[in-house]
Structure formats: C-alpha cells, structure tokens
Chain A
Amino acid sequence: MKGAAASVGKFLLKTKLFWGLAVLYGAGIILSPVNRKGANIFLEPGNQADVLRQVANNGIIAVGMTLVILTGGIDLSVGSMMSLGCMLCAMLLTLPGWTAASTASIPILGVVAFLLCAYLVPLVATNVRRGSAKPVEHASWNIRLLGLVVGLVVGALLVWWTTSQLQSKFGVLGVLITVPAAGLALGAFTGLVIAKGRLQPFIVTLAMMVAIVGLARLLGGETAAVYPVYTGSNATEDFEILRTLVLQVVPVPGIFFLVAVLTFGFILKYSAFGRYIYAIGGNENAARLAGIQVDQIKVAVYAISGMLASLAGVLYTSQYRQGKPDAGAGGELDAIAAVVIGGTNLMGGKGTMTGTFVGVLIFGFLTNILLLKNINSNIQFVLKGAIILAAVLLQEGQVGLWWKRLKARTKKVSTGESRRDEVLQDHR
C-alpha cells in the first residue's frame, strides 16, 4: 500500500510539469468569461487557435534555445535575429530588384547551400554504407568531391532561382528559404566565435544581439522604420498562406512550431547529434576527450538557433503584416523563460524538448487567461515573473529541501547523559 502510494507520488513528481499545465488549463476554463451565447470563451476553438498562433514564434525560438542551453550555452541574440528575419522578409516581399536585403541574402543563401551540401552529402553517404559490422569512420575523397559538386550545383541553382524572382518579388517559398539561410549563417558565425575563441556564450551572443539589431535597422535604411506588407497589393498573394488556418482550426505558424518541436525533439532524443549535445552540456571535458567534435556540435547548435529565430521573424511578418526592426525585442528572454519553466537546466546537460513544449504552452495560456480577464498589462508582467520563479523553484526541488531542513532544525535533541551513565555502570 505504502509502496503504491510512493510510486504514485513519484509518478506525480515526474510529471509535475504536465499537472502544472493541466491546473493552469483548468484555471483558464473556470476563470474565463462567458460570451453572449453562453459558451466558455477560453474553450472556443478560435481562442485555442489564437493561443497556438501566439506561442508559435516564442515556441520556435525556444526550440533552438533548448538545444543551445543543453550544451551549457545561451543565445541572447535570438530576439535580434528574429527582428532581422522580419526585416529581411518584409523587404524581399515588397521591394523588387537588388535592394540591401536581396544583395545581402542571396549570396549568403548560395554559400550556405553549398556548405551544407558539402557537409551533409559525405555524412549521409558514409551512413548509407554503414552496416552494423564494419563502421566507416571517414568519407573517401571521392565522396567528399561529390559533396562539393552537389553543393556547387544546389547553391548555383538556388542563387539562379532567387535572382530570377527579383524582377517580380519574392514569394512565400523564396523568403522561407532565403531568410532562415541568413539566420543559419549568422548563428553559425556566433557558434564559430564561441567554439574556436573558447569564449563565454553569454558575452558573444550579447555582442551579436547588439550588432544584429543594428543590421536590421541598417537594412531598413534611414527613411522607413516599418515596412507594411499587404499581400495582393505590394506583396505576392501566396504569402497569405502563412496566415491561414489548416482544417479551420490550426494556424500555420502553430504547425511550424509543432514540426520544429517534433523534429528537434526526435533529433535530441534519438540521434547521435542529440547525444553529443547532452554530453557536452554534462561534461565538456569528457566529451572532448572521448573524441567528439565539440566545436562542430556547438557551431551547429547556434546555427540552428539562428535559423529558427529568423524563421520566427518570417512568421511575425505574416501575422502582423509588417516588417520592423524591433519585432523580436525581448524575444530571447521569453524563450529562455519557457525553456527554464520546462525544466531544462541552465548549466546544460539536463532537459527535454517535451519540457520546453509544455513550458511554451504554460507561458501562452497564462498570457491568454490574463488577457481574457482584461488584466492590466503591467500586472501581467509581474505575474509572469512570479510564475517563472515559482516554476523554477519547483523544478529544482529546493522547496522539498527547505521542508526537510526545517524538520531537521526542529528535531528534538535528547541529552547525552543517559548513555554515559550506561558506560559507567558497565564499568563498575
């Protein structure tokens, strides 16, 4: 009986994050106002879809942030990266010809495509030939050459295709390829500086955060701070696709978020790359000595983070119909908060993508509930801060320790007299 209770307790403790979400959801239902027809507004499909749409950007960034934090790093540049992605996207959509945005991003796209292919083709090729019996650790020169050739072809094709689009304007596919490529490149640069310079991620990404927001502003030029994007008039019609609801309920940005969670959740849990991320966060020295390409993994992680953040920028542009250089301001903090609420340790090595997913939802539903209750936005901030603190305290298990310590403090201490008397008596 006692054992059963203990194991139930253990199960509850292990899944406390989900219970937290459930409690919040319940609170949302109870606290929600009722509309004229008597339906619970919180539970309306429209409202649920809204929550998913609203958390999508933060969620996508948080996915990348989870990878970074698991390696023991942090990426403060994601908010700026989102701003840059947003500006790039809006300019590519609305301005034809060689503008600052297209001149910068098309060559980057070419280079990124080339390098990715040159790296991935040998990787895939060695995996194809790998059976369980004899591993092939290194790709032969032929395959490397093949990778280079494929890279050149793909890079050239992409550059040719995007350039051909310049005369009209970029469509949705164009920005969805070009903008994340730019984010990937910038993120990879950040990772390179951190890994090769053996620098603190905090400082490097702080510098990048400042620099990239500057880039975003520079791109826009002095005249326009905000680029309105009107699909059908100053931008192509197909960009509207990012605003639609799939099956009338699921917003497209939400799908991007879900796909990102599933993809990187899978990678984290089941792939060698994921293992390396955990190993580096758990003990970087040990990982390095085990012959793991620590620097490569770090670069990849920051590149992914940058890519996802700039993708969030594209989605922002579609939702708010504008590109502005402060679109992602403060985004890094929301993402870090969601990751930490999800139970990922800021020291690295511990945490899950599921946790981050729940963390993002907790954050989203909380905002939604407060919004429905029409609570002053400043009070909202205070409440959010309190929730973060409470979540982290519970996650770290310190609260339980306080309780134990209190018990130990108040434990009654009996005197030592009786024992000494015993000894004396024995002696006599």
Chain B
Amino acid sequence: MSSLDNLNQLTQPFALEMRRISKSFGPTQVLREVDFELRAGEVHALMGENGAGKSTLMKIAAGLIEDFEGQILVAGQPVNLTSPRDATRAGIAMIQQELSLVPELEVDENIFLGQEKLQSLFFVDRKSQVQAAEEVLKALDFHGPLQMPVSKLRVGEQQLVEIAKALVSKARILIMDEATSALSINETERLFQVIRRLAAEGVAIVYISHRMEEVTALAHTVTVLRDGRHIGTVPAKGANRKDLIRMMVGREIQEMLAEDKSAAETARPMLEVRNLSLEHPSPTPSRPTLVQDVSFAVGAGEVFGLGGLLGAGRTETLQVLYGLHPGTSDGEVLIEGEPVLVLSPIEAKAHGLALVTEDRKRDGLVLGAGIDRNIGLPVMRTLTRFGVVARGREKALAQSMVQKLNIHARDIEQTAGSLSGGNQQKVVVAKCLVTKPKVFLLDEPTRGIDVGAKAEIYRLIRDLAEQGLAIVLVSSELPELMLLSDRILVLREGRPTALLDRTEFSQETILEYASPGGAIQPEFLNLEATL
C-alpha cells in the first residue's frame, strides 16, 4: 500500500467510530472507555469472552441502550443514538443473537416492517413489497417461496430475511451477533458468502463471534475486548489463534482438552433405547415423522454423541427420552436394564434422567430468581420439612454446586439473568446434577458461551462420564462433538444413518452421513427399505 493510499484511507472518515464508550449496569461496569473504529467495506470481528462487553458495545451502536458515556460518529458526523429508530436513520442495523422477526407475518411483511410500501395513504402495497423482497433475497441466495409465515422457514433462512430487512433499510453498517450459533455448516458457508459480497459492496460489517475458525476465515480486522476494556485491534490475516485466545482470556489456557480418551468400557449399558419414534405435527411425504426407529445403547461412563444437521431430530430424540412428547412418541427405554415408562419430566427425574436444553433462557432458568433458588428448584422436596424450605440447606447445596462447577457470581443470591452465558449454563448443569442423574442428556451445552467456559464445560462432561454417568450429547459444532464423544450416531431427517466409532470420526464422514442424499451404513439401510 503506497503512503498516499494510506493517507487517503486515514482522511476518509470511519464508517463508524465509537469513542471512549463507558457503560455500567448497576454496580457492574460493563464497558470502560472503549474505542472502536470500523471502515466501509470491512468485516470487523469483535471477540471476547462472555461478559467482555461485545454485545453491549454493539447494542449501543444499534441504539438499543440509551444511557452511556462517550461519543459515536457515523461517517465522521456525530450522531445521537438513543433509539433503534435513530440507528436505522444513521444506516446501522443489528442482527441479534435472538432473531427479531414476527413469526406469524410473511417474509415480505417482516422485511418491510415499519417501512411498509404504501399504495395510497395507508394501504400496504403487498405486490410491490413481495417483488422488492424477492429481489433483495435473490441477491442473498434465497430462493424459497415468500408467501409464508417466517416461522415456517429454517433458522438459516430466517437469518437471511433479517439481513434483507437490514439491506432494505439501506443499512451501511451491519452488526451480526453470534450469527452462526444456530446454523448448520452449509448454511454458515452460505452466510459467509453473503457477508463477503456485502463487504465488497462497501457495507461495513461487525461480526461478533466466539468461533475462532470463522473469524480467521471471514474477517479483515479483529478487535478483542476483555472485562469491558479494549485489549487490541489486529489484522485478521496475521492473527495467530493462540494469541487471540490469550488476548481474550488474559492467560495461556491449554486449548480445550488435548488428551485422548480411551474408548469407555461399555460393559454395563446404562441407557438403552429401542425404536424410538416421534410423530410429525404436520407430516409431509418427505418427512412423515420427526424421529423414526432410533435405537442405541449408552454405557455407564460413555459419552454418546448424536450428530446431524439442524432439524435432523437430535433435539427431539432427547425430548422424547425426557418425556416431553407423551402420546405422540413411541419406543422402548431401558435404564440399567429395567424398562421404564417416561411420560413427563417428573417421571424422567424419578428414573434418573436429566436434560440440559438447548435454550437455557427459555427452558432452563428462572432468570429473575437467584442462583440458589434455581439450583434448589428440582430438589425442593428434599429441602423442605412440612413444606417449609430449609433455607440453610438450600444455600449450602447451592454453595457446594457453585464451588464444584466454578460458577462466577457475586453471591449465590445473584439473579440467574444477570450472569454471563457460560455461568448461566453452569447453573443449568448444576440444576441437573443435584437430582443425582444416571443419564445426562445434553443439548448444545456450549451454545453461545466463551472459550474459557467451554473448556470448563468440556472438562465437566468428561468428569461426569468418569463418575459413571451415561451422557447423550447433541452438538452442532462437529469439532466439539468429535472431541467429547466416544461414539456418534448420525441422524438424517429423523432416521439413523450411521454409528461411528472414535477411530472413524472426521468432519467429512459425519457430514456425508448427515446430508440428504448422502451415504447410509448398511445396517441402517434395511430399516429404510421396510418403511
């Protein structure tokens, strides 16, 4: 780059410039004088552990947080961003971790929500809306039908609709928070192509992510935050994975768990599942059931992985096991060789099953209640005498779990909602462990949590297995699934297609068996034929 170019680039105002941004929620300072600069046409990755302040910083840019210290400039002009409307006007759009589409509205209605194309004074011109939506979506490689509620779309498609919404509002700055946490590998790849194209067209993109591979593959620049401070901004090209991790956690950590685990002895099957199936609420010829003929056995001390793409029926398999689909599911379940009938979470708990759900905020925690109350909830009956809660015992139980799982909190009465994602997840795990389960069902146990916490959860899963629990693990992150599992059963559209041993693990193999039209192991073939 010549020095003149360099000068040009410097004189050109930043697309977005945030200066000395500080913000505190109550007593906790979330951001301390953070500077952030974003150029047009740049994909700028924002990294940091959970609670580092990434999301908060970007929420400020998107006008979602109104009181903060500091200054924001868009294209060199100071702006006052105190509402999402201000941000839209300034050309900033944010796609949040939890998508903000209206599930019952159709695709075009969502895209033009709040900026409807009007025919006359107040009649919405659906026709031209649909046309415009089609145009934008085509550019994003989305070719599905538009005349349907977005709730019918897959998560990846919904994400594209969100992006389209941002583009229609003429956003020049696009902020994406953990965009791929719910996407399959194919969908992620497609999203990356879209992001690259948008950047080439001059859109400035902030990409918040935990996944190192994504960042190095996609971003031009990486900014790392830690504990609300700006730690450094480096070009992504030369960035070394180890260095980034060190910047994020502030210490060298042994990256994940390196030691190889010998195959567990599966002498004593803890959990046996035979011909599990689950009806589809609205069956189609191509997908008559959500789960069909899933059989497997998990030994004590074994981590059994369920692989597959999004919608393959992995989550549903766990749900059926936990008794969440009484009446519509079928199959035999044996625990320690004894056939059990589990038709409700209450029975599941009684038979020694525990479930960590994929969405801890929706299904896992009472966010407004303290850590102690959350942990005590499943075993309340053991903490009471004549219905009165023994507060001391409840606190002691919570305290022991907080120590055991290394949950970081001010005190055990801190509300679960105010914890970082990783710590919330640990509370969910603690809630399960206090019931002293024999079989632990884990659904995406590390979704949306940071590297440090991930490593801790991995270690925890291993420890639990060593203590003799049978663990069934669902994870969309293949490296994670392969790292932790002793065996993996691959599902495709609700049916098993392969059972892989540790020696056979590879991303390619799993994807081959998981993708529609891919291979099927012979022993699962005849199942297909008999259907």
Contact = CB atoms under 8 A, between A and B. Distances in A.
Interface of A: 123-124, 127, 130, 132, 135, 137, 267, 270-273, 275-276, 278-279, 282-283, 285-293, 349-350, 404-405, 407-409, 411, 413-416, 419-420, 423-424, 427
Contacts of B355: 289
Interface in B40-83: 66-67, 71, 73, 76-80, 82
B435 to A, nearest CB: 8
B185 interface: no
Nearest to B79: A413
Contact of B381 (A135, A279, A283, A414): A135
Interface stretch (B109-117, B174-182, B237-245, B356-364): B356-364
A427 B381 contact: no
Contacts of A290: 345, 349, 377-378, 431
5 contacts: A270-B391, A279-B366, A290-B377, A291-B345, A404-B67
A130 B381 CA distance: 10
Contacts of A127: 384-387
The winner among A137, A282, A414 for most chain B CB atoms within 10 A is: A282
Contact of A416 (B11, B78, B380): B78
B73 A282 contact: no
Nearest to B382: A135
Interface of B: 6-7, 10-11, 13, 17, 19, 66-67, 71, 73, 76-80, 82, 322, 324, 345-346, 348-350, 355, 357, 362-369, 373, 376-378, 380-391, 393, 431, 435
Contacts of B385: 127, 130
A288 B391 CA distance: 22
Nearest to A401: B66
B401 to A, nearest CB: 14
A94 B376 CA distance: 51
A137 B349 CA distance: 11
A291 B10 contact: no
A415 B13 CA distance: 13
Contacts of B322: 289
B367 A124 contact: no
A280 B376 CA distance: 14
B388 A271 contact: yes
A349 B380 contact: no
A291 B387 contact: no
A130 B390 CA distance: 13
B10 A424 contact: yes
Nearest to A274: B389
Given A283-B366, A404-B66, A415 B78 contact: yes
B387 A272 contact: yes
A411 to B, nearest CB: 7
B377 A416 contact: no
Contact of A413 (B71, B386, B435): B71
A410 to B, nearest CB: 10
A283 B367 contact: yes
**A-B pairs, 6 with minimum CB distance:** A282-B366, A291-B349, A135-B382, A290-B378, A416-B73, A413-B78
Contact of B377 (A279, A285, A404, A415): A279
Contacts of B73: 416
Given A127-B385, A135-B382, A282-B368, A291 B78 contact: no
A260 to B, nearest CB: 18
A105 to B, nearest CB: 29
Contacts of B364: 286, 289
A405 B66 contact: yes
Given A413-B71, A416-B13, A292 B377 contact: yes
B337 to A, nearest CB: 22
B17 A416 contact: yes
A272 B363 contact: no
A182 B58 CA distance: 57
Contacts of A415: 78
B369 A278 contact: yes
B389 A272 contact: yes
Contact of A283 (B82, B365, B378): B365
A127 B390 CA distance: 13
A137 B431 CA distance: 18
Nearest to A413: B78
Contact of B11 (A135, A272, A420): A420
Contacts of A130: 382, 385
B381 to A, nearest CB: 6
A278 B367 CA distance: 11
B82 A270 contact: no
Contacts of A135: 381-382
Contacts of A411: 80
B82 A409 contact: yes
Chain B at the A interface: mostly helix, strand, loop or mixed?
A: mixed
Nearest to B357: A289
A420 B7 CA distance: 12
Contacts of A413: 71, 78-80
A293 B345 CA distance: 9
B7 A270 contact: no
A231 B5 CA distance: 101
Given A278-B366, A279-B377, A290-B377, A272 B384 contact: yes
Contacts of B77: 416
B384 A271 contact: yes
Nearest to B393: A132
A278 B19 CA distance: 42
B389 A270 contact: yes
Given A275-B373, A279-B369, A124 B380 contact: no
Contacts of B382: 130, 135, 137
Given A285-B362, A288-B345, A408-B66, A124 B386 contact: yes
A404 B388 CA distance: 42
B245 to A, nearest CB: 31
Contacts of A275: 373, 376-377, 380, 389
Contact of B346 (A276, A293, A349, A427): A293
Given A285-B362, A286-B365, A414-B71, A272 B66 contact: no
B7 A427 contact: yes
A154 to B, nearest CB: 20
A287 B377 CA distance: 8
B78 A414 contact: yes
The winner among A276, A415, A416 for most chain B CB atoms within 10 A is: A416
A213 B374 CA distance: 41
Nearest to B80: A413
A345 to B, nearest CB: 9
A424 B11 contact: yes
Contacts of A293: 346
Given A276-B380, A416-B17, 17 more contacts: A132-B393, A275-B377, A278-B366, A282-B368, A283-B367, A291-B435, A404-B67, A408-B67, A409-B80, A413-B71, A414-B78, A415-B78, A416-B71, A416-B73, A416-B78, A423-B10, A427-B10
Contacts of A404: 66-67
Contacts of B391: 270
Nearest to A349: B368
The winner among B324, B387, B393 for most chain A CB atoms within 10 A is: B387
Contacts of B389: 270-272, 275
A267 B384 CA distance: 12
A170 to B, nearest CB: 32
Given A137-B350, A408-B82, A413-B78, A420 B380 contact: no
Contact of A137 (B324, B367, B381): B381
B13 A420 contact: yes
A14 to B, nearest CB: 14
Contact of A291 (B71, B76, B346, B357): B346
A287 B387 contact: no
Nearest to B379: A135
The winner among A276, A283, A291, A292 for most chain B CB atoms within 10 A is: A291
Nearest to B374: A286
A424 B373 CA distance: 57
Contact of A287 (B82, B366, B367, B376): B366
B377 to A, nearest CB: 5
